[in-house]
Structure 1
Amino acid sequence: MNQKELFSIATDWFHEQNWQPFAFQKESWKAFLAGKHGLLNAPTGSGKTYALWFPIVLNYIKKNPEYRTKHKKGLKAIWITPLRALSQEIRQSAERITVDLGTQMTVGIRTGDTSTKERASQKKAMPDLLITTPESLQLLLSSKGYASIFKDCSAIVVDEWHELLGTKRGIQMELGLSRLKTICKDLRIWGISATIGNLEQARRVLLGPNSEQLQNSVMVRANLKKKITVKSIIPKTMETFPWRGHLGLHLLEEVVPIINNSKTTLLFTNTRSQCEIWFQKILEKHPEYAGEMAMHHGSINKETRLWVEQAIRNESLKAVVCTSSLDLGVDFAPVETVIQIGGPKGVARFLQRAGRSGHRPGKESVIHFLPTHAMELIEASALQVVVKENAVEDRLPYLNSYDVLLQYLTTLAVSDGFYPGEIFPEIQQTFCYQGITEEQWQWLLNFLVLGSQSLSSYDEYKKVEIEADGKFKVNNRGVAMRHRFQIGTIVGDATISVRYQKGGYIGSIEEYFISKLTQGDVFTFAGRNLEFIRIKGMQAHVRNSTKRTNKVPSWMGGRLSFSAQMSELLRQELYKAAAHQLSGPELKSLKHIFDKQREESIVPSPSEFLIETFKTRDGYHHIFYPFEGRAVHEAMSSLLSYRVSLLSPITCSLAFNDYGFEMLSDKPIDIQAVIDNNLFTPEYMLADLQRSLNSNEMARRKFRDIAVISGMVFTGYPEKGVKMKHLQSSSQLLFDVFRDYEPNNLLFQQAFTETFEHQLEEGRLRMALERIGKQQIVWKDCEKATPFSFPIITDRLREKLSNEKLADRIKRMTKILMK
């Protein structure tokens, strides 16, 4: 069949559905059938699955003219999805095509949720089209004779590539692809990505920076203009001194009419605890929603989550309070309205959530923004700009993650074994390891065979044997089994499953929250009040309780920080306020706050960097405003306090939020000396940062993940997990051994690199310091706290006081400030 005939099969199918194929879909079909690789840039809900399932099936029809009568079995294409929840949707799209076109192709799913029975039958006969996750692909590579499974595979599609880029799961994909390129004779590699700032780089990472695949590739863009409208919920009365203590709950009644006026509403919160609290409070105030409202976040059990997703599709729920667990893909058309509670901290995340409403090509998306405190209206104003300019963040890829590489090499050694001379050139072709040296490679091979130098006398670290012909192979069944259990790069904080005493799984909570509870304590989880009974193994036993409680599990992931893009946009909005250009309802509604700020201090302009100092009964407050996001402020505040301590011995406690940071001390800091001694200089930044932060402690925490991923520490068999305390202590022991006896150990060094580059965003910190260096430093010695400093001071108090006491204290503080 020629291309024209193949195209008409596809277009006829579209017409039967009363659809019209988009230009980008046709472009993808054409490029794929011409043997090209590529990256498709398309928003969720635009028909991207049909852009690539179709050419995969058409390619099979082209090669097998007798496809209706004779079926050639075997794996023909793999579709990688980062989220298991999406696999059903993708399967339905594929089956519609294969069945309607009369092919006999089978479609299968293989993820962590696939039953053992299903896996066993797949082992005997692979489906033609396989939907799987990055982890399950690695598991296939760990099975004996994997090359024969993949040999006829002609396509691999990596969906939601922007989500994998800049994570270790993305590196797993790079390594998996490097192997498949060699095994499969005629493989086309395609990625699908939503808009990110560095799309070209995303394509290079996917295909390999110097590969022939990259030379023979295309970028297909679905230029579907989507209209997004941001409606801010502006409080009728606005505090002049904002604080973020009430999670926006004082605007709860503003949300009710929005919910009543639409069929289905998604309320996005930034954290799981905020999700739990909002769900509880809405039901408390409006019991009429019982049965019509649900909650969805990653720690709730799978059955409940699937039920909620299905109920959204059937339009049987009025509202769902959720976290980013519903950000991606999960494909439901009928959501009418989206409400974002609190600043989303990132542009891409906000646009992704907005796109959930009117989730159809050409439909308008409406997103309501509900600020948790007044300052967040500046973020809302910045998001109005984003929507007009579609300015999205970059996702920066990792380099030289040795832990993931060691896991991958062990995977190959567990299956058929590998020859280093064959595998090394493949690994050098990937983006992550393009700079790996012969010396580093030899170190890694030694590590597999002997463990590291300082551990060479312990047999448990010797996993791989070198056979007579130079092949690296795992021959020990126990080693192979443990390795397969531990394939993956997501190392969460240890979770404990929460169950009723009589059985019945509710969900999972991080260990550190449960460890603080005593018997009889009541907490809220999954929308219920539960009384804690005991911990047994890795399970917490509970029973339902009628007592009221304000204990809500907090998850470590709850501390999101501004992206660089978001910080830049926020500063631009503030500079408008400095120039008295209050465009838009959000900035206009904050006029009284800016006026009050000017009474005591200033609203900084682009050429100014603001420092405020004042004294209260707590001590001497020194507040700095880089407006760079929490992560950068954490590093900058440590750096500055270290440099100040070199001038005069002083101890201070640090607090920071997305707008600035505070140094609170028992005696005043000489701010003039800070300015005169150029303490914001980027020179010697790394050395000072290492001394200022407990960088050893932070690297030690990072090292736990590295030790688990590289296989040095075993996390235990399913249902018999190793307690976090043991994991922590065994990885800390290793860390200390390397620090004292083998500081050039690559995994030990990686822990520091990751701490600085990813956790403390060293690159952004350097750029922020360079920017401050060009600004005029304005130091305001104030009588009392200012509206800008108030959220930072109250954030510090939150660590010490319960919510009720905090609210009372803040009322008193505000009264004094308003005099």
Structure 2
Amino acid sequence: MNRDELYVLAENWFKSQGWKSFPFQTQTWTAFLQGKNGLLNAPTGSGKTYALWFPVVLDYIKKNPDYKTKHKAGLKAIWITPLRALSVEIKQAAERIITDLDLPLTVGIRSGDTSQSERAKQKNKMPDLLITTPESLQLLLASKQYEKTFANCGAIVVDEWHELMGTKRGVQMELALSRLKTIAPKMRIWGISATIGNLELAQEVLLGHDTEAYKNSVLIKAHINKKIKIESILPEKMETYPWRGHMGLHLIDEVAKIIRKSKTTLIFTNVRSACEIWFQAILERYPEFAGEMAMHHGSISRETRLWVEDAIRNEELKVVVCTSSLDLGVDFAPVETIIQVGGPKGVARFLQRAGRSGHQPGKESVIYFLATHAMELIEASALKKAVAKTVVEDRMPYLNSWDVLVQYLNTLAVSDGFFPDEIYEEVKTTFCYQNITKENWNWILNFITNGSQSLQAYDEFKKVEIEEDGRYKINSRFIAMHHRMQMGTIVGDAVLNVKFLSGGFIGTVEEWFASKLQRGDVFTFAGRRLELFQIKNMQVLVRKADPKKTARVVSWMGGRMTLSAQMSELLREELYAANTENLTPELKALKPIFNRQRKESIVPNNDEFLIETFKTREGFHAIFYPFEGRYVHEAMASLISYRISLLSPITFSLAYNDYGFELLSDQEIDMQSVFDNNLFTTEYVHHDLQKSLNATEMARRKFRDIAVIAGLVFTGMPGKPVKTKHLQSGSQLLFEVFRDYEPDNLLLQQAYIETFEHQLEEGRLIQAMERINNQNIVWKQCKKPTPFSFPIITDRLREKISSETLQERIKKMTASYMK
């Protein structure tokens, strides 16, 4: 068949579904059939999956004209998805085409959820089309004679590439692709990405730095004008002193009205604990929603999650409270309305969530924004503009992730072994390791064979043996087994299974939360009130709790997100706009707050940097407002307090949120000397940060993850994980050995680099300080706290007092400040 005949097949299929193909889909088919690699950028719900399954199938028909009589089994294409939850959808899409076109192709899934018997079947006979995750692909590379498995594979599609790039899973993918290019030279590599700013860079990271694959590639953008309607849920009366932490629950009646108007509503919260709280609150207030309402987040059991996804598809549920576990491509046409609770902290995440509604080409997406405190309405206003101008965040790729490289080389050594010179040339073509030197490479080879200089005396670190022909190989079955169990780059706190005494599995909680519980304590989780019976063998055994007992809500460590750089910039622009006549509905609603703020202080303009000082019974407060997000503020607060303490001995307690940070002390800061000594200089930032923060402590925590990925510490057998505190002490010991005896150890250096670049966002900190240096510093000596400072103060109070007494305390504080 020629190309035109193949396209007729595809177009007829689209017609039979009542659809018409988009230009971006046919462009992708053409480029693919011409043998090109590429990156496809298209919004959620526009038909990206068919843009790449179809050319895979058409290519098969073209190459096998007599497929009806002579079908050669074997792997022909791999589809990589970062989320296991999506694999069923992707499989169904492929099967729909195969069945309708009457093709002999088979489709299989291989992920952490695949049963042992299914894997054994795949080992003997691979499906023609395989859907898998980055981790499972690495496991295939760790199996004997993997080169045969991939030899005739003609395509690999990496879905949701924007989710992988800028993470170590993305680095894992880069390394796997560098190997596959060599063993399957005809393989076409394609990425699919929805919301990302730096698409050209994303294409280069996917296809390799300056490689043939990159030179023979295209970037295809779908020009689909996705209509997104954003509505803010505005309270009737605006509080003059806004405070964080009431979760927006005072607007629950407005939410109920929206739920009633829509067939299906998804309520997105940023964190799992907020998801639990909102679910309980709606049920208590509106018991009539029972039976039509469910919850979905990553710690709930897989069976429950799948049931919820199916129920949404079949329109059996009216409302689902969820977290980012439903952000990505899970395909539901029927969702009508989305409610976002709290600022999503990034434009891309907001667009992704908005795309869950009207999840079909040409349909309008409707998303409501519910601010959990008044200041978040500025974010709502900024998001509206960002969506109108399609401003989306960039994703920054990792460089020199030595821990992932160590793991990858061990993976190759577990299977058929590798020759270092050949693999070095491949590794150099990846974006992550484009600057690797021969010296770095030799250090890594020495590390996997001898366990680096300081660990040479210990046999357990000598994993890889060098054979007579120069091949590097792991021959110990014990080491190989440990390695296969621990592959992957997602390192979290240890999780414990929550089970009923009678045996039903409910979900998972983190070890640090479980360790705070006493026998008989009641907590709400997955929509149920549970009483702790005991913790045994990494299991939290529970029974149903007495409804009269007070319960705490489960919380998770990954609790707080920070504003992205793009979002911070949009937020500042919006704030400066508050001083103009041209106000959005959100800024109009905030007028009482702005008026009160101007009464006590100012609302800064774009050429002003605001610092407020005032005294309360807690001490002397100095509040700085860079509007840069909490991670940057955490670093800046430490840096400025350290620099002030060099001028005169003074102790601070620090607090910060996304808008600013507070230095609280029992003595007054001499602000004039702060300005005279140019405290916002960008000189010596790195040195001062190291001194001010406990940078070594932070690097030590970072090193635990690096040690796990590089296989220096073992996380345990299935069902018997090593306790987090033991992992921490094991990795700490190694950290100290390297720090004292081998300071040039690449993994040790990596821990410090990641601390500064990824955790403290040092680059953003320096840019923020450069901006402040070019603004006029406005110092306001206030008589009492201002509306802008209030969320920061109350956030610090929340750490000390329970929410009941906090509410009363805030009421009293607000009353006294309003006098």
> Displacement, 1:213?
0.8
- The 1-side partners of 2:802 and 2:580 are apart by 38
Offset from partner CA, 1:498-549 (integer Å, 9 cap, x none) = 1112221111111111111111111111111111121112111111102343
Offset from partner CA, 1:135-188 (integer Å, 9 cap, x none) = 000000000000000000000000000000000000000000000000003110
Counterpart in 2 of 1:180? Answer: 180
- The 2-side partners of 1:428 and 1:222 are apart by 32
- The 2-side partners of 1:732 and 1:37 are apart by 44
- The 1-side partners of 2:68 and 2:27 are apart by 27
> Displacement, 1:581?
2.8
Contact 1:614 1:620 in 2 (8 A): yes
Offset from partner CA, 1:541-592 (integer Å, 9 cap, x none) = 1111023434112111111000001000000011111x23352210001111
The secondary structure found in structure 1 opposite 2:4 is helix
Counterpart in 2 of 1:363? Answer: 363
- The 2-side partners of 1:704 and 1:503 are apart by 34
Counterpart in 1 of 2:574? Answer: 573
Counterpart in 1 of 2:317? Answer: 317
Counterpart in 2 of 1:63? Answer: 63
- The 2-side partners of 1:185 and 1:39 are apart by 19
Q: What pairs up with 1:54-203 in 2 under 5 angstroms? A: 54-203=54-203
The secondary structure found in structure 2 opposite 1:542 is strand
Offset from partner CA, 1:630-680 (integer Å, 9 cap, x none) = 010000000001101100010010000000000000001111111110001
Q: What pairs up with 1:607-618 in 2 under 5 angstroms? A: 607-618=607-618
The secondary structure found in structure 1 opposite 2:541 is strand
1:623 maps to 2:628: no
Offset from partner CA, 1:46-81 (integer Å, 9 cap, x none) = 111111111111111111110122111100000000
The secondary structure found in structure 2 opposite 1:443 is helix
Counterpart in 2 of 1:525? Answer: 525
Q: What pairs up with 1:498-517 in 2 under 5 angstroms? A: 498-517=498-517
- The 1-side partners of 2:18 and 2:247 are apart by 46
Offset from partner CA, 1:338-381 (integer Å, 9 cap, x none) = 00001110000001001111111111111001110111111111
Offset from partner CA, 1:725-747 (integer Å, 9 cap, x none) = 11111011111111111111100
CA RMSD in angstroms, aligned pairs only: 0.7
1:344 maps to 2:344: yes
Counterpart in 1 of 2:461? Answer: 461
Contact 2:416 2:473 in 1 (8 A): yes
Counterpart in 2 of 1:235? Answer: 235
- The 2-side partners of 1:580 and 1:149 are apart by 64
Offset from partner CA, 1:574-621 (integer Å, 9 cap, x none) = 1111x2335221000111111110111110001100000000000000
> Displacement, 1:800?
0.6
Contact 1:230 1:368 in 2 (8 A): yes
- The 1-side partners of 2:348 and 2:227 are apart by 15
Counterpart in 1 of 2:334? Answer: 334
Aligned-partner residue type, residue 191 of structure 2: G
Greater mean alpha carbon deviation, residues 539-548 or residues 713-722 = 539-548
Q: What pairs up with 1:735-774 in 2 under 5 angstroms? A: 735-774=735-774
- The 2-side partners of 1:159 and 1:452 are apart by 37
Contact 1:575 1:606 in 2 (8 A): yes
Q: What pairs up with 1:169-568 in 2 under 5 angstroms? A: 169-546=169-546, 547-568=548-569
Contact 1:242 1:374 in 2 (8 A): yes
> Displacement, 1:123?
0.3
Aligned-partner residue type, residue 563 of structure 2: F
Aligned-partner residue type, residue 89 of structure 2: E
Contact 2:195 2:352 in 1 (8 A): no
> Displacement, 1:470?
0.8
- The 2-side partners of 1:696 and 1:493 are apart by 20
Counterpart in 2 of 1:678? Answer: 678
Contact 1:39 1:192 in 2 (8 A): yes
- The 2-side partners of 1:429 and 1:617 are apart by 61
Q: What pairs up with 1:10-29 in 2 under 5 angstroms? A: 10-29=10-29
- The 2-side partners of 1:179 and 1:243 are apart by 53
Greater mean alpha carbon deviation, residues 682-691 or residues 529-538 = 529-538
Contact 2:238 2:592 in 1 (8 A): no
Aligned-partner residue type, residue 569 of structure 1: L
Structure 1: runs of 5 or more not aligned: none
Aligned-partner residue type, residue 178 of structure 1: S
- The 2-side partners of 1:245 and 1:369 are apart by 16
The secondary structure found in structure 2 opposite 1:674 is helix
- The 2-side partners of 1:524 and 1:565 are apart by 36
Counterpart in 2 of 1:814? Answer: 814
Aligned-partner residue type, residue 557 of structure 2: M
- The 1-side partners of 2:445 and 2:245 are apart by 52
Counterpart in 1 of 2:644? Answer: 644
Counterpart in 1 of 2:694? Answer: 694
Contact 2:195 2:351 in 1 (8 A): no
Contact 2:682 2:766 in 1 (8 A): yes
> Displacement, 1:399?
0.2
- The 1-side partners of 2:622 and 2:494 are apart by 37
- The 2-side partners of 1:86 and 1:195 are apart by 17
TM-score, normalising length: structure 1: 0.99
Aligned-partner residue type, residue 119 of structure 1: R
Offset from partner CA, 1:106-138 (integer Å, 9 cap, x none) = 000000000000000000000000000000000
- The 1-side partners of 2:373 and 2:80 are apart by 40
Structure 2: runs of 5 or more not aligned: none
Contact 1:524 1:549 in 2 (8 A): no
Aligned-partner residue type, residue 260 of structure 1: R
> Displacement, 1:245?
2.0
- The 1-side partners of 2:288 and 2:394 are apart by 44
> Displacement, 1:45?
1.1
> Displacement, 1:193?
0.2
Counterpart in 1 of 2:664? Answer: 664
The secondary structure found in structure 1 opposite 2:239 is coil
Contact 1:418 1:471 in 2 (8 A): yes
Counterpart in 2 of 1:804? Answer: 804
1:31 maps to 2:31: yes
